[in-house]
Amino acid sequence: MNLDIIFNLILLGIIIGTIYSLIAMGLSLIWGVSRIINVAHGEFIVIGAYVTYYMFNTFHGDPSLYLIPSGLVVGLIGVIIQLLLYNRIVGRDHLTSLVLAFGVSIVLSGSMYILFTGNLRVVNSFYSEKSILIGSATVRWGAIYGFFIALILILLVFLLLEKTDIGRAIRAIAQDKDAAILMGINPQRIYLIAMFISAFLAGVSGNIVAVLYSFDPGVGESSYLGISFVITVLAGLGSIKGLILAGIFILTAQNFTSVYAQGLETAMGFLIMILFILFKPTGLFGKLLE
């Protein structure tokens, strides 16, 4: 293996890995704040991809125009699901919330098959068709686009969590719900805000993956949920730094796997996760996962 290939694999690992950090961020946020493993997160992403797809096919123009709308539509869906369903099971054990979230996941993907059919969709634009050469690596503009959008959003979420009252309240609920209630924080309100942010991020991620990859209603589960889970565990709950490093690390590891042992990329992700669960269950920087 020559140095060029190694450079390419690492470069793509950083670019695509950052995008996957964003993809995982919403899952991690809800897990940390509401203690719900929202396995419907993959479907949230795919809904965002469909919003971008249909808006692009209707209005054309640059797919980046549909970034915020995709986030808002999915954010709204997340809020509705929180109010109707997840609010009822917050505070219960993981099994209860998992069963409910699986139900939501199945209903969402089933509805999408009915509404949008199972045909593979692509958003054909400048981003998917044109590439740029970085060193010896050919990188599609979609990846560059996704990388910067992901960086900006991760930074915004970081600032929101660290510097605002709402952000402090979200972290307080994640760390010690009872103490947060003593501060006059209303947990139900925080769960709702956290869900909106999580679903918004999923919708925005959907815009990015629609620009980058083809998709159908099933890819939420097959392509995005599992890896979000792996990245979240590896990062440790409550650490944005961990999310970025974990995303880059997992994607780089998968890139190398694709060269040495093609077909085992997904297995490699889970293998790394299992090793972490065995030897460092709090993840890279996590504090919240006992």
Binding region for other proteins (CB under 8 A)? 165, 168-169, 171-172, 175-176, 178-186, 238, 287
Nearer to other proteins by C-beta: 93 or 165?
A: 165
Quote the least distance from Cβ 38 to other proteins, whole Å. Answer: 23
How far CA 162 is from CA of 91, 167, 196, in Å, comes to 25, 6, 18
Quote the least distance from Cβ 282 to other proteins, whole Å. Answer: 12
Report DSSP letters for 114-167, one per residue: HHH-S--B---SHHHH-EEEETTEEEEHHHHHHHHHHHHHHHHHHHHHHHSHHH
Which tokens in the block code for residue 50? 């469909």
Burial of 19 (0-12, 13-18, 19+ CB in 10 A): buried
Quote the least distance from Cβ 158 to other proteins, whole Å. Answer: 14
Three-state DSSP class for 93?
Answer: coil
Nearer to other proteins by C-beta: 258 or 282?
A: 282
Looking up tokens 């068709």 gives 129
Nearer to other proteins by C-beta: 63 or 187?
A: 187
Nearer to other proteins by C-beta: 57 or 186?
A: 186
Quote the least distance from Cβ 32 to other proteins, whole Å. Answer: 11
Length of the chain: 290
Report the C-alpha gap between 188 and 184 in whole angstroms: 12
Which tokens in the block code for residue 118? 């199972």
Quote the least distance from Cβ 178 to other proteins, whole Å. Answer: 7
Neighbours of 124 (CB within 10 A): 11
Quote the least distance from Cβ 119 to other proteins, whole Å. Answer: 47
Which residue from 136, 140, 147, 142 is spatially nearest to 6, judged by alpha carbons? Answer: 136
Nearer to other proteins by C-beta: 1 or 182?
A: 182
Question: Do residues 62 and 171 touch, judged by C-beta distance below 8 A?
Answer: no
Which residue from 231, 233, 248, 229 is spatially nearest to 282, judged by alpha carbons? Answer: 233
Ordered alpha helix ranges (H), 184-288: 187-212, 219, 226-235, 240-260, 265-279
Nearer to other proteins by C-beta: 167 or 226?
A: 167
Report the C-alpha gap between 282 and 266 in whole angstroms: 22
Nearer to other proteins by C-beta: 181 or 261?
A: 181
DSSP for residue 288: S
Nearer to other proteins by C-beta: 55 or 185?
A: 185
